[in-house]
Chain A
Amino acid sequence: MALSREQIAQRVAQELQDGYYVNLGIGIPTLVANYIPEGMEVMLQSENGLLGMGQFPTEDELDADLINAGKQTVTMATGASIFDSAESFAMIRGGHVDLTVLGAFEVDVNGNIASYMIPGKLIKGMGGAMDLVAGADNIIVTMTHASKHGVSKLLSNCTLPLTGKGCIKKVLTDLAFIEIKDGKFHLLERAPGISVDEIVKLTEGELVVTGDIPEMKL
């Protein structure tokens, strides 16, 4: 079975390490915060100027001056810090964030990512996504492997305008965990019950399959 949104988040959470500073994008990446392993300390960076994002507030804690990058009201975790937007992006662009997780429409074998703009449709903007993909070294893209109509989103060349060029090395889809290197996709793991053939069929860009591909453990 293809992974649910929660299961994608669960698998991404396995990539966390104790002491990591992490930036989670809007959508599935946000769910990763629900699966931080017991006993592990992870600090969440919100690019509007908060390091150490806490859970959502209770009615009593609600504060209009404290929001996340998705403009939702939040709280601060113990040891949090607040800074301005230039400082926030100095952290991001300076490569100080240990792990960035964000969504995409398409990725390709050269590590290009398209995630903010579909020509002809309403363009809302890239927000901080271009800074995140250009600034971070360790990025995981979460996305569905193919459209509802079976059109692959893992391509030899992105068709949509790019968010970043040559910056993506890891992609977790609802079907597979994939590494990008040497201009090719490399299959690392498959979703439970999904065959290598199914993944190959839905991957338009060149996919290297070496040996037995293990199932993800969730």
Chain B
Amino acid sequence: MAGFDKVVSSYEEAMAGLTDNMTVVAGGFGLCGIPENLIAEIKRKGTKGLTLVSNNCGVDDFGLGILLPDRQIKKIIASYVGENAEFERQMMAGELDVELTPQGTLAEKMRAGGAGIPAFFTATGYGTPVAEGKEERQFKGRDYILEESIVGDFAIVKAWKADRYGNLVFRKTARNFNPMAATAGKVTVVEVEEIVEPGELDPDQIHTAGIYVDRLILGNFEKRIEQRTVRKA
């Protein structure tokens, strides 16, 4: 790599330095916009004891779900889980620590983490199990709870297009948590469908600036659909 060129040529290189017990922040919503090949690389490496921060945990044989059979995930911070049988088994058996977090709070934890904000007050979760053990405060007569932000040792991100400098463009609702995840990693690794030369992307249309991106790799994607719903033409 030279200068601002973030491109790496192998998935091994992309995830180099990930070791046991690290925290990984991941983009994606359901199976949409997930860094599927980076997840597959974590499985191949066999890294264990990971804390995953992701809206969901994939399905049995795709997405983050593939890290479950070898017990690679110690803890997951997510808003909605349980779309797979092995997850349910490990959660019920107490083998997997699950911290359920409201979706907007999860997004804001990543955003704030990436922006250097250690914590924020939100009305979301006040008076619910989510508020347990958290500081409460009133502003203008309304109750809020204090939520701490998250920064991962690694962030794994899926974008549509990038230039070699790591400027990113996302596509449709595959954007979801990816831009926040990109800001919230000490090492941010992005996989994309197309890499172009610097200058080829319109600066006004870039969703995530290359400053957040450490490594960039070109991938092939299955893009599995979780709930295929169609109408007749």
The answer to whether A84 and B180 touch across the interface, beta carbons within 8 angstroms, is yes
The answer to whether B231 and A67 touch across the interface, beta carbons within 8 angstroms, is no
**Choice from A85, A124, A161 contacting B176 with Cβ under 8 Å:** A85
Distance in Å: Cβ of B150 to nearest Cβ of chain A: 13
Distance in Å: Cβ of B90 to nearest Cβ of chain A: 12
Given A57-B231, A65-B174, A122-B88, are A134 and B103 also a contact pair (CB < 8 Å)?
no
**Interfacial residues of chain A within 122-154, with CB under 8 A of chain B in the complex:** 122-131, 134-135
How many interface residues does A have (CB within 8 Å)?
53
- The yes or no answer to A86 lying at the interface (CB within 8 A) is yes
Distance in Å: Cβ of B112 to nearest Cβ of chain A: 9
Contact pattern, A 40-69, Cβ under 8 Å of B = 1, otherwise 0: 000000111110000111111011111110
- The yes or no answer to A83 lying at the interface (CB within 8 A) is yes
- Determine the chain A residues whose CB is within 8 A of the CB of B108 once the complex forms: 86, 89
- The yes or no answer to A17 lying at the interface (CB within 8 A) is no
The answer to whether A84 and B178 touch across the interface, beta carbons within 8 angstroms, is yes
The answer to whether B231 and A65 touch across the interface, beta carbons within 8 angstroms, is no
The answer to whether B231 and A56 touch across the interface, beta carbons within 8 angstroms, is yes
Other than the given A50-B172, A122-B88, A135-B123, 16 more pairs (CB < 8 A) read A48-B173, A49-B29, A49-B175, A58-B230, A73-B229, A73-B230, A82-B173, A84-B175, A85-B176, A125-B81, A126-B80, A126-B100, A127-B103, A135-B104, A161-B129, A165-B126
Q: List 10 A-B contacts (CB under 8 A).
A: A58-B231, A65-B33, A71-B227, A72-B227, A73-B228, A83-B175, A124-B81, A128-B102, A128-B103, A165-B127
Which residues does B use to contact A, with CB under 8 Å? 29-33, 55, 78-82, 88, 91-92, 100, 102-108, 110-111, 122-130, 143, 160, 170-180, 207, 223-233
